[in-house]
Amino acid sequence: MEELSLHILDIAENSIKANASFVTIEIIEDIDTDKMEIEITDNGFGMSDKMIEKALSPFFSTRTTRKIGLGLPLFKDTVEACEGSIKLTSEINRGTKVYASLRHSHIDRPPLGEIADTILMLVISYPDRDFLYRHKKGNREFTFDTREIKEILGTEVSINHPEVRSWLLETLKSGEKELN
Amino acid sequence: MNLEELRKLKEKAQADLKVRAESAKIKIIVGMGTCGIAAGARPVMQAFLEEVERRNLKDVLITQSGCKGICAMEPVVDVEIEGEKSITYGYMTPEKAKKVIAEHIVNGTPVSEYIVSTQG
């Protein structure tokens, strides 16, 4: 994957397949400590301890449900190449958390890339799920919460309505821009 | 987030509510498995969205699916039109997506050189 935002999209797809109704994506960039943290948390059906162990291996997949394939091992590879580590925690019927921490300035660290596109694709492809996206960079922070948006839209207008879609992309792009 | 603007949008959107979702007669499904994402499915989906918006096409639903096993041909896109055979395009790019919209969705002629399979 050329961008971290593509890994994030891939991992979040796992959450959807695990039947999560709420997915949180959090990115924390701290230049002072030279750290970048990425956390994807869901309330899906979770994994057993045995499954967690296997989930990071490329030779494991829950083929029938396709919950996990090459996605996590690829992400792990990227993270570890940047002097980082990945941690998987999960509880059956409660959800799963994928946490990665990597060296911000590492030469092999892929750029975050078009994270706005990643969030938009998830939000409009799964209008019945909720997403909370938070990106912290130094002392600046951008939060995007579909629950807030849906509260305004009500039941009459779907979040993937074309008029709304442009607003979503604009909101995500300008929110990201203001972090720099 | 500029929620005030969103409120105004909602009113505008309610006016042309007849469209979309369940009523969509054309479905464009982009494969978003690990293989698809790695091969460039996200910009392909983005291109479909932009093109549908630019041309103001109603009745088109753009959504995604997982890996269907033809990873070597990713990004893979299915076009399902009510009453017609479902068509699978392979090796897609944003440029090809624009052509599919113009020729298949708008003019009704599938782009044969991009087709990898036809079902139904």
Q: What is the pLDDT of residue B12?
A: 81
**Average pLDDT over every residue of A75-81:** 95
Tally A–B CB contacts below 8 A: 86
pLDDT 10s digits, B37-79: 999 999 999 999 999 989 988 889 999 998 888 999 999 999 9
**B9 to chain A, minimum CA–CA distance in Å?**
7
A55: confidence class by pLDDT, cuts 50, 70, 90: confident
Write the class of the CATH domain B21-119.
Answer: alpha beta
pLDDT 10s digits, A3-50: 999 999 999 999 999 999 999 999 999 999 999 999 999 999 999 988
Residue from B6, B34, B51, B77 whose CB has the most chain A CBs within 10 Å, to mutate: B34
**pTM of the full predicted structure?**
0.90
**Average pLDDT over every residue of A55-65:** 66
Q: What is the pLDDT of residue A133?
A: 98
Q: Does A35 touch chain B (CB under 8 A)?
A: no
Domains of chain B, by residue range, sit at 21-119
Q: Does A74 touch chain B (CB under 8 A)?
A: yes
Q: What is the pLDDT of residue B104?
A: 97
Q: Name the residue among B53, B66, B67 with its Cβ closest to that of A162.
A: B53
**A167 to chain B, minimum CA–CA distance in Å?**
7
Q: Per the CB < 8 Å rule, is A157 touching B52?
A: no
Strands A35-42 and A95-103: antiparallel
Query: How many other CB atoms are there within 10 angstroms of residue B54's CB atom?
Result: 10
Q: Per the CB < 8 Å rule, is B13 touching A161?
A: yes
Strands B60-65 and A22-30: unpaired
Q: Does A162 touch chain B (CB under 8 A)?
A: yes
Q: Per the CB < 8 Å rule, is B49 touching A165?
A: yes
More confident residue, A56 or A160: A160
Q: What is the pLDDT of residue A70?
A: 80
Instruction: Look at the alpha carbons of A121, A123, A128, A133 in this order and tell me if their dihedral is positive or negative.
Output: positive
Q: What is the pLDDT of residue A68?
A: 53
Q: What is the pLDDT of residue B16?
A: 64
pLDDT 10s digits, A90-149: 999 999 999 999 999 999 999 999 999 999 999 999 999 999 999 999 999 999 999 999
- Among A158, A122, A4, A22, smallest CA distance to B46 is for A122
Strands A130-137 and A95-103: unpaired
- Report the distance separating Cα A51 and Cα A41, nearest Å: 17
Does pLDDT of A66 surpass 60?
no
Please provide the average confidence, as pLDDT, over all residues in chain B. 90
**B50 to chain A, minimum CA–CA distance in Å?**
9
Q: Name the residue among A1, A149, A156 with its Cβ closest to that of B6.
A: A149
**Average pLDDT over every residue of A150-178:** 91
Q: Per the CB < 8 Å rule, is A175 touching B52?
A: no
pLDDT 10s digits, B9-45: 888 877 665 555 556 789 999 999 999 999 999 999 9
Q: What is the pLDDT of residue B81?
A: 94
More confident residue, A57 or A120: A120
- Report the distance separating Cα A140 and Cα B91, nearest Å: 40
Q: Per the CB < 8 Å rule, is A153 touching B63?
A: no
Q: Per the CB < 8 Å rule, is A160 touching B21?
A: yes
Q: What is the pLDDT of residue A58?
A: 74
**Average pLDDT over every residue of B100-115:** 96
Q: What is the pLDDT of residue B9?
A: 87
Place of tokens 């849906």: A150
Which DSSP letter does residue B102 get?
I
Which residues in chain A are closer than 8 Å to B14, comparing Cβ atoms?
156-157
- Among B59, B69, B65, B93, smallest CA distance to B78 is for B65
